[in-house]
């Protein structure tokens, strides 16, 4: 009798356990699918989602100590089942969420609420090593592979990373020390990298202390990056802000960047690898950028530009205590082209150079670069520029036998610093014209007279990316 009672009790406990598991699973499912709650969430996005979940539904703990990599990846994997059913979003509430790298999915939104912080793990084994980019040939910090980015995705469509100015903290000091001490076996990770993807939105976030580049869309199209704040120590190595790389139809708007490198760097591959891959960056618009970068440019074109850069439009650019405004970086061996560049409305305070073009930027992917691969630089237009406290107006250095042509500058007023260089302009191997430029430019940029102060082109027709309108997404959530 006692044995029979024990068997019945065991079966009863087993039944109760199964029921608890089923109820728990159903509860999790209902939390993912049910949008009725007391919390109102509204934001603008290229797509709204039919399903929502919180990282806490997957065991996430926001105490800054618990590692949440598995929780984030499980959440993304489970939510991916709704890609064909209206898409899904993962809410990250206030807290400090320690995590290693995890992959995103299509028709998906990662939303960081106010006071939510993603903390990048400093455990190296949390960062997988992946192949170098084919248009680069090998890593930038070291030959061979590269550490995967914190937020990563490839071959995706309709991906949104946004929030209520939540934060992604790369905790980059460890990586910067390894870089300076030359202890890196692979190239440092970025904070966000999306490859071979389409319809991307990254908005309304703060990114701090990236190990290297912050945002890197590559081989992708139809990209909107707006309302982003990026902060890094101004002496941190290679902490570029936003680097569109072999991308088409890109809109960067209302971004504020303090960086140890270029605030925006436009790229398309490195030397023979970029030439072979042959994928340019084109149809890029940059509006209302504010940059602080004492050792680099507000906007750089290159130096990895071997696949080509074309149709870049920048307007309403503010730079403070920054090395240069819009800089072109290239070299013999790069090949490719930079052409049809239009800059309108730059306000610059405390600059080393206003205009800087470099044809001897020496770094190469390896020793196999082609000395006959000369870059084509032409059709570079600047207008409506005001700069003050400037050390040197321009340093324009083309390539002997391969001059930079079609340079146009109009309506430019530069106030020199008290300890400015004796000669404000240095020009070699360039061709172009100017109008209404002060101080007077070099002889290779002859003045066409004040009546032509608006002669430099700036397109009036919009790019396709400007036709993409944001939707207002509204949710009632119980988080």
Catalytic residues: 261
Phi-psi region at 406: left, alpha or beta (left = phi > 0; alpha = psi -120 to 50): left
Phi, psi of 169 (to 5 degrees): -110, 110
Residue with tokens 């036709």: 467
Long-range contacts of 444-452 (CB under 8 A, 24+ apart): 444/396, 445/407, 445/409, 452/410
CA dihedral 448, 462, 464, 410 (to 10 degrees): 20
Q: Are 249 and 224 contacting, i.e. CB atoms less than 8 angstroms apart?
A: no
Q: Are 280 and 135 contacting, i.e. CB atoms less than 8 angstroms apart?
A: no
CA atoms of 465 and 447, how far apart (whole Å): 36
CA 274, 147, 156, 242 torsion-angle sign: negative
Contacts of 242 (CB under 8 A, 6+ apart): 214, 215, 225, 228, 230, 252, 255, 257, 263, 264, 265
CA-closest candidate to residue 372, choices 402, 404, 397, 396: 402
What tokens appear for 358 in the block?
Answer: 């470099």
CA Rg value for the chain: 26
Q: Are 268 and 245 contacting, i.e. CB atoms less than 8 angstroms apart?
A: yes
CA atoms of 380 and 395, how far apart (whole Å): 15
CA 26, 28, 29, 31 torsion-angle sign: positive
Contacts of 461 (CB under 8 A, 6+ apart): none
């Amino acid at each position: 009798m006692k044995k029979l009672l024990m068997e019945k009790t065991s079966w009863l406990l087993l039944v109760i356990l199964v029921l608890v598991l089923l109820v728990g699973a159903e509860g999790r499912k209902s939390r993912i699918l049910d949008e009725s709650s007391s919390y109102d969430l509204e934001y603008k996005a290229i797509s709204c989602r039919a399903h929502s979940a919180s990282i806490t539904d997957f065991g996430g703990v926001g105490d800054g100590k618990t590692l949440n990599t598995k929780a984030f990846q499980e959440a993304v994997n489970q939510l991916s089942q709704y890609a064909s059913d209206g898409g899904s979003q993962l809410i990250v509430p206030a807290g400090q969420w320690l995590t290693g790298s995890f992959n995103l999915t299509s028709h998906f939104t990662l939303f960081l609420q106010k006071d939510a912080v993603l903390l990048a793990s400093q455990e190296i084994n949390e960062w997988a090593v992946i192949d170098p980019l084919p248009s680069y040939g090998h890593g930038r910090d070291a030959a061979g592979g590269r550490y995967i980015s914190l937020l990563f995705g490839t071959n995706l469509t309709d991906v949104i990373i946004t929030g209520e100015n939540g934060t992604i903290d790369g905790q980059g000091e460890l990586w910067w020390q390894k870089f300076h001490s030359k202890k890196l076996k692979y190239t440092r990770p970025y904070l966000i990298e999306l490859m071979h993807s389409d319809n991307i939105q990254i908005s309304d976030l703060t990114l701090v202390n990236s190990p290297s580049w912050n945002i890197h869309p590559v081989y992708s199209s139809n990209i909107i990056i707006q309302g982003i704040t990026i902060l890094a120590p101004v002496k941190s190595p290679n902490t570029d802000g936003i680097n569109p790389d072999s991308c088409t139809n890109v809109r960067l708007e209302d971004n504020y960047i303090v960086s140890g490198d270029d605030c925006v760097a436009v790229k398309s591959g490195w030397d023979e690898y970029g030439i072979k891959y042959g994928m340019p960056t084109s149809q890029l618009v940059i509006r209302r950028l504010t940059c602080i970068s004492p050792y680099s440019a507000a906007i750089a074109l290159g130096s990895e530009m071997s696949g080509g850069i074309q149709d870049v439009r920048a307007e309403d650019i503010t730079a403070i205590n920054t090395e240069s405004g819009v800089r072109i970086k290239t070299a013999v061996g790069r090949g490719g082209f930079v052409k049809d560049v239009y800059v309108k409305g730059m306000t610059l305070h405390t600059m080393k150079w206003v205009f800087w073009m470099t044809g001897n930027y020496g770094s190469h992917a390896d020793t196999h670069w082609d000395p006959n691969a000369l870059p084509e630089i032409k059709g570079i237009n600047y207008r409506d520029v005001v700069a003050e406290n400037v050390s040197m107006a321009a340093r324009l250095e083309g390539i002997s036998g391969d001059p930079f042509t079609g340079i146009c500058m109009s309506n430019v007023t530069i106030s020199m610093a008290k300890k400015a260089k004796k000669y404000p302009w240095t020009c070699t191997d360039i061709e172009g014209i100017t109008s209404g430029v002060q101080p007077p430019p070099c002889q290779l940029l002859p003045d066409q007279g004040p009546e032509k102060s608006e002669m430099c082109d700036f397109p009036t027709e919009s790019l396709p990316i400007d036709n993409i309108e944001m939707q207002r997404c509204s949710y009632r959530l119980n988080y």
